[in-house]
Structure 1
Amino acid sequence: MSGANRIQAEGVIKNIIREIVQECASRGEGVSETLVAFIIKSIVLEPQNDFQVDRVLASEDVQRLIDLCVKRLLDSKSASLDTIKMQVYFDMNYTTRDEFLTEHRRVLQSRLQPILREITDNRSTTKEELESLYRKIVSSVLLRSGLGSPTDISVVREATAALQSVFPQTELGNFLNLSKRDKDRQLVELTQIVTGIRLFNKECGKGGEGIDNLPAILNEAIPATLKEIQQQTDDAIDSSEKLISVLDAMNALQHKQLSKETPRKRIQESMINSRQLELYLKILSNDVKQSAREVEELLQQFKFRLEQLKTTIQNKTAVPTAQVYPQFMHLASIWFGFQDEMVLLSVLSNILYSLEPYTLNTKELLADDAVRKCLNRIT
């Protein structure tokens, strides 16, 4: 296909997608363009539909394609459509750990930009302006660290005290003279140090306002999530095995259907649906198990760093900043690792529970009288 023809074909496909979306919407079914594109591809490639993929579609072929797609998209009993929807959903929402976290950090950074810009572009000179700038720095530290709300007075008071111990307001003059890049770097460092101080103080029973016990939450949530995934996996395996048994029985008896509502094709599609779900559950399970390993390692590092800090600070009225600041920063870094695992677990849990609606037709088929009778005869 030439370049011009390819561009023309792409334009035709876009129009077809829009028409299908609109037609489905007019019939009360909302569908995404991604799903429609997936359905178009599958229908065009099915030999029985006799579409010529190497040439531009004639107008009658376009209408036939639209009709076939709409019919398939409106088939509320189709496990095959459920499987395609499941695939589209998973492809659109699942990615690797690193990509999840990169996107999360990008979103967090974009949310921080307004206040960071206010700080780094600041040209304060009066006492009131400098006090306002300092409060903004405290807020930015809290927002970046995720340790409590910047609208909670007790949290702000605690964070301000920690910041003042490492960056008193008298340092603002020097800060304002820095380049934007150096200001950004110092704000990151201050966040890490203040976060480390607050975490250490919490461990010593001297603070910790607004700081959730992430290790405890994760140690409870991860096993619970794994248990749920395993239960759903067992159910999916059980479903596919039952449907395979039914298909084997039908083959032995040379039956094309168990009843009018349960033809062989419907049973095959439901079996594939269960297998697809099983595959995705395995992926989620592996990711959650990876999180469990990460949390275990982070917890060991966290405990070790706390002990090191206690040893460094214990019974000393003054400790060189070169000794203690890097330790506070490392403590914060470990905690941010816990936060990452919380984000990942939340995303994976959302995906897990979002897969269930795509299995309802398969569950309905397994409850069908003809299927149950067949299974009873087999067992």
Structure 2
Amino acid sequence: MPLTQAESVIKNIIREIGQECAASGEVVSETLIAFMVKAVVLDPSNGFNIDRTLMKSDVQKLVKLCVTRLLDSKNPSLDTIKMQVYFDMNYTSREDFLEEHHRVLESRLSSVSREITDNRARAREELESLYRKIVSYVLLRSGLGSPTDIKIVREATAALQSVFPQAELGTFLTLSKKDKERQLKELTMIVTGIRLFNRNCGKGGEGIDDLPAILHEAIPATTQYIDSQLQIAQDLLYRYTAILEKVTKNPLLGKELQQYMIKEALYNMRQYEIFLQIILSDILTCAQEVEMMMKQLAAQLEQLKLTVKSKTAVPTSQVFPIFMALANLWTSFQDETVLISILSNLTTHLEPFLGAHDILFPEKVMQDLLDDVTVKTDASRIQEQMDYKVRASDFKKLEWLFPETTANFDKLLIQYRGFCGYTFATTDGLLLPGNPTIGILKYKEKYYTFSTRDAAYSFAENPENYIDLIKEKAKKNAELIQLLELHQQFETLIPCSQMRDVDKHYVKPITKCESGTQTDTHILQPTIVQSYEWNEWELRRKAIKLANLRQKITHSVQTDLSHMRRENCSQVYPAKDANTQTMRQDGTQVPRPQIYLAGLRGGPSKVTHEVKVDLTRAVDET
């Protein structure tokens, strides 16, 4: 089937599924439907063959299966997929967010900037209107107050007039567009710095929020909330893990508990834990940045106070750089405020995807399942196996990495997001954290951790077998593809956020390297005197030369114009952009001459009467 036709079929399937879900009262995004379609097709129990064209019956079956799974509100697996899709569509890394945030601000200000740079004001009223637009631009770009508040406008106008009086508009209008845009940005930064300094001195700052104080309160509150949610999630997933461990030892119990979907609930809570850890890591980075910026802000304000202290006039070369530094710091504070707000909202919007836990596992049911079960934390599991390390000498053809002998050990990209692949493959999908300290297996340039030494030894005997088992299990539970980071094995299900990082180069560990040493040829500095001469006649020749030089006279010449010669300075204008227009070819259509002569053959008379008839059309008729 051609690619365009296949895309059309998929779009029709997605549209039909969305319509059926909407008819049942469930609004589902196209992204979620597309993920569900691929998940249903991958599941071998559904009997779809991706290598052949789908028949009409296959399409109907696919639509029915997708709609059934999308409308199952009590399925933790569906909640996990919804959570993954939502997080993938709404989360970006810190660098990408700041870049996109600044791009959006620039696009919103482009129309205001264009009105200023394209202005050709001449009259007094037009110049005053242009100056007001510049003030509005400064306020909008700095984000320090509304341009409709008269008090804020007056304060910003006063600050702008101190560095850019209205009389300089004429010079501003003569600049090129790029120079105008650059000067507008510089004026914004300087005015922002002036207003921040005045606010610190208690002389202004109308409409300026105390962002450092806001962040000082918001970051600990957000961190505390995420920590509490993370603790709740971990307590719950530790219980699920303990129950599943009990099930692995008693297969009959597994059939009884199959209806509770404990495994799917564990995947849901593990995914929630991972997302919370990602958000918490970003917030901790924000906290470090804010702490550093607060110190820089205090230092810049103190330096500015010392510079302008008891002085009626201060050189602009001293204060303008500090004003601009203050503006840059405040912009960073604004970025951190927006980022904290978005991360906090993202955390809040993840909670609705956990609703199935209270329905499936009330406290009474959970207590019955935990009867005679010891609940262990991830940390306690790792601590129990610290002394049972892999012996690398037991495997001659495999390479094992240990923290004592491997640089960048903590930066290794571990497969399956750090979970034990052997335990997951040999049990019914149990997720146990791997313990890197007992040894990391390097197999085909990939790194694997294991919960115990026995698991590591068993996996190392036949890695390909267990890798294939994990892949097959992931086909049955599509949420595992993102949870265990199996995107390379299922390229059609790579999330959008990770498509941007396909070419990202991870830090590789330094396990072995070639080195060499070389002894210097001359360890000590040479003591050879290059001017030494052993020949006495050569010494005599040099002495005669010096004696002759003593009798020589040096002459210098000066003229009337050069005797007062001094250093001179000249000033030139910097290069500027210029435009030239080259010759172009053009053409016009002129009337073709049409002139006829009559009477050349003669006539009855001997005299020839020649008649010249001009039938050429006029120029305006062509």
Instruction: Say whether the 8 Å CA contact 1:239–1:366 is kept in structure 2.
Output: no
1:95 corresponds in structure 2 to 92
Report which of the two structures shows the higher radius of gyration computed on alpha carbons.
2
Which range moved further: 368-377 or 271-280?
368-377
1:306-321 superposed matches below 5 A: 306-321=301-316
Which range moved further: 81-90 or 355-364?
355-364
Q: Distance in 1 between matches of 2:186 and 2:256?
A: 69
Any gaps of 5 or more consecutive residues in structure 1? Answer: none
The reply on whether 1:48 has 2:68 as its aligned counterpart is no
1:217 corresponds in structure 2 to 214
Task: Letter of the 2:259 partner, please give it.
Answer: P
The reply on whether 1:358 has 2:356 as its aligned counterpart is no
Q: Distance in 2 between matches of 1:257 and 1:125?
A: 87
Q: Distance in 2 between matches of 1:70 and 1:271?
A: 24
1:54-65 superposed matches below 5 A: 54-65=51-62
2:259 corresponds in structure 1 to 263
Per-residue deviation, 1:190: 0.4
The reply on whether 1:147 has 2:109 as its aligned counterpart is no
Q: Distance in 2 between matches of 1:126 and 1:362?
A: 71
Task: Letter of the 2:287 partner, please give it.
Answer: A
Which range moved further: 115-124 or 351-360?
115-124
Q: Distance in 2 between matches of 1:95 and 1:233?
A: 20
Task: Letter of the 1:160 partner, please give it.
Answer: T
Instruction: Say whether the 8 Å CA contact 1:233–1:281 is kept in structure 2.
Output: yes
Instruction: Say whether the 8 Å CA contact 2:160–2:191 is kept in structure 1.
Output: yes
Instruction: Say whether the 8 Å CA contact 2:36–2:66 is kept in structure 1.
Output: yes
Instruction: Say whether the 8 Å CA contact 1:5–1:56 is kept in structure 2.
Output: no
Match among 296, 301, 319 for residue 301 of structure 1? 296
1:285 corresponds in structure 2 to 280
The reply on whether 1:121 has 2:118 as its aligned counterpart is yes
Per-residue deviation, 1:357: 0.3
Instruction: Say whether the 8 Å CA contact 1:195–1:328 is kept in structure 2.
Output: yes
- Deviation string 1:77-110 (CA, Å, 9 cap, x unpaired) is 0110000000000110111111111111111112
- Deviation string 1:221-260 (CA, Å, 9 cap, x unpaired) is 001111111111111111111112222334444224557x
Q: Distance in 1 between matches of 2:103 and 2:144?
A: 19
Instruction: Say whether the 8 Å CA contact 1:258–1:370 is kept in structure 2.
Output: no
2:172 corresponds in structure 1 to 175
Which range moved further: 115-124 or 136-145?
115-124
Per-residue deviation, 1:203: 0.7
1:229-240 superposed matches below 5 A: 229-240=226-237
Q: Distance in 2 between matches of 1:71 and 1:201?
A: 63
Per-residue deviation, 1:371: 3.0
Q: Distance in 1 between matches of 2:255 and 2:203?
A: 71
Q: Secondary structure at the match of 1:38?
A: helix
Q: Distance in 2 between matches of 1:152 and 1:367?
A: 55
* Bigger relative CO (Cα 8 Å, ≥ 6 apart): 1
The reply on whether 1:202 has 2:199 as its aligned counterpart is yes
The reply on whether 1:133 has 2:91 as its aligned counterpart is no
Q: Distance in 2 between matches of 1:156 and 1:257?
A: 72
Task: Letter of the 1:94 partner, please give it.
Answer: Y
Q: Secondary structure at the match of 1:363?
A: helix
Q: Distance in 2 between matches of 1:343 and 1:273?
A: 28
Instruction: Say whether the 8 Å CA contact 1:148–1:210 is kept in structure 2.
Output: yes
Instruction: Say whether the 8 Å CA contact 2:222–2:344 is kept in structure 1.
Output: yes
**What's the C-alpha RMSD, in Å, of the aligned pairs?**
1.4
Compared CA separation, residues 50 and 30, structure 1 to 2 (3 A):
same
Q: Distance in 1 between matches of 2:174 and 2:255?
A: 81
- Deviation string 1:198-218 (CA, Å, 9 cap, x unpaired) is 001111111010111111110
- Deviation string 1:16-57 (CA, Å, 9 cap, x unpaired) is 111111111111110011000110111100110111111221
Instruction: Say whether the 8 Å CA contact 2:152–2:206 is kept in structure 1.
Output: yes
Counting aligned pairs with the same residue, the percent is: 59
The reply on whether 1:78 has 2:75 as its aligned counterpart is yes
Q: Secondary structure at the match of 2:182?
A: helix
Task: Letter of the 2:131 partner, please give it.
Answer: Y
* TM-score normalised by the chain length of structure 2: 0.59
Any gaps of 5 or more consecutive residues in structure 2? Answer: 375-622
Task: Letter of the 1:358 partner, please give it.
Answer: F
Instruction: Say whether the 8 Å CA contact 1:256–1:263 is kept in structure 2.
Output: no
Match among 368, 375, 378 for residue 373 of structure 1? 368
The reply on whether 1:68 has 2:65 as its aligned counterpart is yes
Q: Distance in 1 between matches of 2:363 and 2:90?
A: 32
Task: Letter of the 1:140 partner, please give it.
Answer: Y
1:11-30 superposed matches below 5 A: 11-30=8-27
Instruction: Say whether the 8 Å CA contact 2:74–2:359 is kept in structure 1.
Output: no
Q: Secondary structure at the match of 1:263?
A: helix
1:340 corresponds in structure 2 to 335
1:274 corresponds in structure 2 to 269
- Deviation string 1:288-345 (CA, Å, 9 cap, x unpaired) is 0000000011111111111111111111111111111111001110111111100110
Task: Letter of the 2:198 partner, please give it.
Answer: N
Q: Distance in 2 between matches of 1:377 and 1:364?
A: 23
Task: Letter of the 1:193 partner, please give it.
Answer: I
Q: Distance in 2 between matches of 1:376 and 1:119?
A: 74
Compared CA separation, residues 228 and 258, structure 1 to 2 (3 A):
farther
Instruction: Say whether the 8 Å CA contact 2:17–2:67 is kept in structure 1.
Output: yes
Instruction: Say whether the 8 Å CA contact 1:222–1:288 is kept in structure 2.
Output: yes
Task: Letter of the 2:253 partner, please give it.
Answer: H
Q: Secondary structure at the match of 2:2?
A: helix
Q: Distance in 2 between matches of 1:75 and 1:365?
A: 13
